[in-house]
Structure 1
Amino acid sequence: MIQLEIACFNPESAIIAAQAGADRIELCDGIEVGGTTPNLETTQKVLTQVPIPVYVMVRPRGGDFVYTDAEFQAMKASIAAFKKLQVQGLVFGILMEDDTLDEARNRLLVALAHPIPCTFHRAFDRVKHWEFALEQIIDCGFSTVLTSGTKANVMEGLHELQAMQQQAGDRITIMPGGGLRSSNVLQIVHVTGGHFVHSSAITDGGTLANPEEIIAIKKESNV
């Protein structure tokens, strides 16, 4: 059974996603920049209103994934606060200025989050040598990598996603995301052989997931 994570940028979208059959929520703020850290009040509201796991984005700003010391401290504080709320997962990723993995900082945040599972988000799609970076991410202790195969979207990165799945084996979950829709999910699942996919399921350019699209993704991915 293929499982579906829906990126949600407000509580309303999270409720829609849960009711439509999503298996997990990735909770974010900042839809205009691809996702940032949501506030604690919003996170608490979602945790009390949806019955499925909620993974929370830890990203202090949009733009690149190279963070100052102050921003890194803010990420640490966010993780500590979300742990107290008992979120089910955390989503983050830190790079160096040369677009290699900041292994030391990522490892520290995974350790701080323990035992909560962590997803390395689409910062992965900016790395220069993904094969090496994937091994680093596994070694850091992440449970999942969210990726479009280092390309603009999952269809362009289909070959790379397949190669990532083969390299990862059962050591980490490769979760395709970025332009994933009901119209292409079956091909993505068949080619990659993965078992978890990611979408916003937003089809109208707004901020709310489309419940019909969520239902369709689930149906198509499990044909």
Structure 2
Amino acid sequence: MVINRPTCEVCVDGVTGAIAAQSGGAHRLELCQTLSVGGTTPSVGLMRSTKASVDLPVHVLIRPRAGDFHFDTAEFDVMRRDIEAAGESGAEGVVIGSLETDGGPDVERTARLVEDARPMSVTFHRAFDVVPDADAALEGLIGLGIDRVLTSGQASSAWEGRGLLRHLVDAAGGRIVIMPGAGIDETHVGELIHETGVQEVHFSARREVVMATGDRAVTMGNDGSADRVRGVTDAERVRAIIAAASAASVR
């Protein structure tokens, strides 16, 4: 089976990471902050600086806090304002997700966010991975006109969720893009593409670096390790994953 060369989206949490991803050959960026908790909305300054520093499409994560994906009225208002800020900053897309208390997509609020976002591209993020009925959720998102779903196939990693990913690609039938993400690296991205038939992949390609200021007796949060090391985007890893993904298209 011949597969078109896949689009590779790299998740970054800073300008330096965005530049590294571009250097490594990324096709598109997802921009966020605090990747250690799955990502939250980047600041307006980070949005603008990133757009000024790279020549790639940038999709901005819209998530006002860590934790679950059921947001109160105040948080929803923040999301709407952040979408406006993303558009004003020149972003090409936003990445959204809002769930009801029963775990299904919040159709009314998601529809409003999609309306706010246009003409930017809209991705529904990994909130999809905790919905109780993936097929029903997928059809609902298609009905809302969402462009793509970022998902691990409701597993801890995209590789583990490849069975559901294959099913979702088939169920989508080209009506929406299924973009796998979570734990994707150069060792299996080619096989993942072949087994699932996806045309886009999402990864972070990070490595840990020791803090320049070294160990401190005082910690700044609940996770003391976060005061000693941090993750950074590795241009060489980006390049290696893209090469492996591209090789899958010419088998």
Shorter-chain TM band: over 0.9
What is the TM-score with the length of structure 2 in the denominator? 0.87
One-letter code of the match for 2:67?
G
**For residue 139 of structure 1, what is the aligned residue in structure 2?**
143
Pairwise CA distance, 1:131: 0.4
CA–CA distance in structure 1, aligned partners of residues 160 and 77 of structure 2:
36
Pairwise CA distance, 1:203: 3.3
**Do 1:3 and 1:195's aligned partners in 2 also have CA atoms closer than 8 Å?**
yes
One-letter code of the match for 2:68?
D
CA–CA distance in structure 1, aligned partners of residues 241 and 102 of structure 2:
36
Pairwise CA distance, 1:85: 1.6
Pairing 1:1-223 to 2, within 5 Å after superposition: 1-204=5-208, 206-223=230-247
CA–CA distance in structure 1, aligned partners of residues 141 and 28 of structure 2:
22
What is the TM-score with the length of structure 1 in the denominator? 0.98
Greater CA drift, 81-90 or 104-113: 81-90
Greater CA drift, 76-85 or 129-138: 76-85
CA–CA distance in structure 2, aligned partners of residues 206 and 189 of structure 1:
29
**Do 1:13 and 1:207's aligned partners in 2 also have CA atoms closer than 8 Å?**
no
RMSD: 0.9
One-letter code of the match for 1:87?
A
One-letter code of the match for 2:16?
E
**Do 1:124 and 1:130's aligned partners in 2 also have CA atoms closer than 8 Å?**
yes
CA–CA distance in structure 2, aligned partners of residues 203 and 194 of structure 1:
26
**Do 2:181 and 2:202's aligned partners in 1 also have CA atoms closer than 8 Å?**
yes
Pairwise CA distance, 1:206: 3.2
SS in structure 2 of the partner of residue 203 of structure 1 = strand
Q: CA offsets, 1:78-115, max 9 Å, x none? A: 11121112210000100011111101100110011111
For these two proteins, the number of residue pairs brought into alignment is: 223
What's the % identity of the aligned pairs? 38
Greater CA drift, 199-208 or 9-18: 199-208
CA–CA distance in structure 2, aligned partners of residues 169 and 11 of structure 1:
36
SS in structure 1 of the partner of residue 146 of structure 2 = coil
Pairwise CA distance, 1:118: 0.5
CA–CA distance in structure 2, aligned partners of residues 194 and 162 of structure 1:
8
Bigger CA radius of gyration = 2
CA–CA distance in structure 2, aligned partners of residues 88 and 126 of structure 1:
27
CA–CA distance in structure 1, aligned partners of residues 166 and 77 of structure 2:
36
One-letter code of the match for 1:213?
R
**For residue 218 of structure 2, what is the aligned residue in structure 1?**
none
SS in structure 2 of the partner of residue 107 of structure 1 = helix
Pairwise CA distance, 1:213: 1.1
Pairwise CA distance, 1:207: 2.3
**Do 1:176 and 1:197's aligned partners in 2 also have CA atoms closer than 8 Å?**
yes
CA–CA distance in structure 1, aligned partners of residues 100 and 41 of structure 2:
20
**Do 1:9 and 1:207's aligned partners in 2 also have CA atoms closer than 8 Å?**
no
CA–CA distance in structure 2, aligned partners of residues 113 and 134 of structure 1:
19
